[in-house]
Structure 1
Amino acid sequence: MKRKTGILLVAGLALTLAALGLQSSHTRPKAGSLFSWNRTAVSAEGIEAVLTVNEQLPLTQLFQEFPLEMLREKTEVQRFVSQLHTQGIDCYALMGDATWALHEQAEEVLSRLILVADYNETSSASQRLRGVVLDIEPYLLPQWDTEDRLTLLQDYADQMVIYYKQAKALNLEVVICLPYWYDQDYAEALEQLISEACDQAAIMNYNRHDEAGQLVREVEYAQHSHKTLIAIYEFIAPGKHGLESNNTYHDASLDELRQAWAGLQEQFPQGKIYPGYHYLEEVQAFLQRQ
């Protein structure tokens, strides 16, 4: 059941959004998206790190976490986003917390969306953030192991639809992060999340044994609702965050990564599916090892 947050939306912020330039190739990944959780990346050194990755793994989107005060002050973010824009890379504000799956946190989420919209309103076209990335993982909540998971996930999906409507009223695009396994037991909620709660769905496709097979339903939902799908590759070392060797490309070669992406392109030649890389420091270290 959908809930009203009781909050007035700030709407009508007219933004000029740059068009995505998508580069295709069968020998290396299509232009993709890079996650960056390092708040210090918003610097000259951070820009260089992103551009270094871009040389070997072409990018059209950077998902960057920003300190709230930095968004309020604006100057550093404007300089950072403008530099990315000259390289054809759109920037999104990366944010998220597992508790945001609950309607009790709706006001906090809306305040974040309004903050990004306010930043855009007082920035030039080349300095604007294209949208937000909502990385909200309800399965990390204590309730996941103590309550009805199906109900919890459905409530989360309903809440995400509300966030999406609020963001669109503020002229912000929305990318949501989803695990690859929702289709196993929560297909109805998954379809709602892809079709009604985002412009792009970034799938944490962290199982190298069947990368194409575990995306079939997600691609189907995305194609039906004309949404873009991002297949995220992990680069964190095995042993961290519960990752095993089959969950990450940390110890793989660049050729293996490119072959994996070529395989997805062959499986879904008509799909709007692009690669994503998690995350900046780990990807940079991976490329340095090649």
Structure 2
Amino acid sequence: MKRHFFIFVQTGIWLLAAIILAGCGPGKESTAALVSETGIFSWEEEYILPEKEADVVKAMERLDCKAVYQQIPPDAQEAEVLDYLKRRGEMEQHVFYLAGASEWGLQENAASMLETVEKTAEWNRKAGEGNGFAGIVWDVEPYLLDEWENNREECMQRYVENCIRSYEEAKKEQLAVIVCIPNFYDRPGLAEQLELLVEKGCDGIAVMNYNKADEAGQIAVEARLAEKYRKGIIHITEMQKPGYHSLTEQNTYYYDGFDAVWESWERLRQEYPYEYLGFSWHYLKPCLHLMEKEENA
């Protein structure tokens, strides 16, 4: 009888411990909050180097950013990456590995995306507790490929399958995943796969909403899906000078300035009072240029 009682009590303790430990892990809501923090894209490798640290700090503080989406070049020295992560950790800022190429969306078995997840996890193991990447931002744009024009539905399906597969692996490594998307995946023929992407392929979507004409209307479907599945949604604002990549004044806030961006974001908050609506600047280098113009005005 005593032995049976002991086993019963011990089993209860184990169950209680399991419940407590499960509650301590990153839950769906906390991950949605993480991925919807105000962030900034950073494409140039120079900004991971110590000599550019003052510029990074300046932009993060001026633009009230809690996260940075940093591209890491293939030939980057491991020590440089780990030192950069350590500096961001000391500033209590989250770093997302910004990675991807258009062709990754159509690769067999998500080969490059899975390789990137593995590489990110390996960096995190070497970075140590509190200093690693918070997650990955996928910049995978299959609609730029020739194949897209011939069969966009099939391309979209393959792309979403690859996102789902890589997301499953990222979760095993406790990496949050943000997927960059244009604002036109809600069109007929693509909308069903867009919903699947939000539901099963990421912790949040970052929408390249680069048209000032109807910013709220252009992300209406994406905002509804994010709220339905309790995922983050990030409105990305373009800050590059008109003329680059065929950008016009209708696509960018370069001439409008930072205050106009914050006013735009506030209007979106009023339109979508969803707690996991976030915002991001595109991107670090032009933002630094605009700050320099402000200082010299």
**Structure-2-length-normalised TM-score:** 0.83
SS in 1 for 2:186: helix
Partner deviation per Cα, 1:195-229 (whole Å, 9 max, x = no partner): 11111211101011111111111111001111111
| Greater helix content | 2
Tell me the distance in 1 between the aligned counterparts of 2:52 and 2:234. Answer: 23
Residue 65 of structure 1 aligns with which residue? 71
Tell me the distance in 2 between the aligned counterparts of 1:224 and 1:65. Answer: 30
Residue 158 of structure 1 aligns with which residue? 161
Tell me the distance in 2 between the aligned counterparts of 1:270 and 1:105. Answer: 34
Tell me the distance in 1 between the aligned counterparts of 2:245 and 2:215. Answer: 20
Residue 4 of structure 2 aligns with which residue? none
What displacement does 1:79 show? 1.5
Residue 220 of structure 1 aligns with which residue? 224
Match of 2:58 among 36, 52, 67: 52
Amino acid at match of 1:67: P
Determine whether 1:259 maps to 2:263.
yes
Tell me the distance in 2 between the aligned counterparts of 1:66 and 1:163. Answer: 19
Tell me the distance in 2 between the aligned counterparts of 1:181 and 1:289. Answer: 34
Residue 32 of structure 1 aligns with which residue? 38
Match of 1:249 among 247, 253, 256: 253
- Of the two, which has the highest radius of gyration? 2
Q: Which runs of 5 or more structure 2 residues have no equivalent in the other structure?
A: 1-24
Residue 7 of structure 1 aligns with which residue? none
How much identity, in percent, do the aligned residues show?
A: 30
Residue 124 of structure 2 aligns with which residue? 120
Residue 86 of structure 1 aligns with which residue? 90
Tell me the distance in 2 between the aligned counterparts of 1:32 and 1:216. Answer: 20
CA contact under 8 A between 1:66 and 1:93: conserved in structure 2?
yes
Q: Which runs of 5 or more structure 1 residues have no equivalent in the other structure?
A: 1-15, 23-29
Structure 1 segments, 4+ long, off by >3 Å, are: none
Tell me the distance in 2 between the aligned counterparts of 1:109 and 1:65. Answer: 14
Determine whether 1:102 maps to 2:106.
yes
CA contact under 8 A between 2:110 and 2:163: conserved in structure 1?
no
The farther-off stretch of 133-142 and 150-159 is 150-159
SS in 2 for 1:206: coil
What displacement does 1:77 show? 1.5
Partner deviation per Cα, 1:255-279 (whole Å, 9 max, x = no partner): 2111101101111123411110111
Determine whether 1:287 maps to 2:286.
no
What displacement does 1:173 show? 1.2
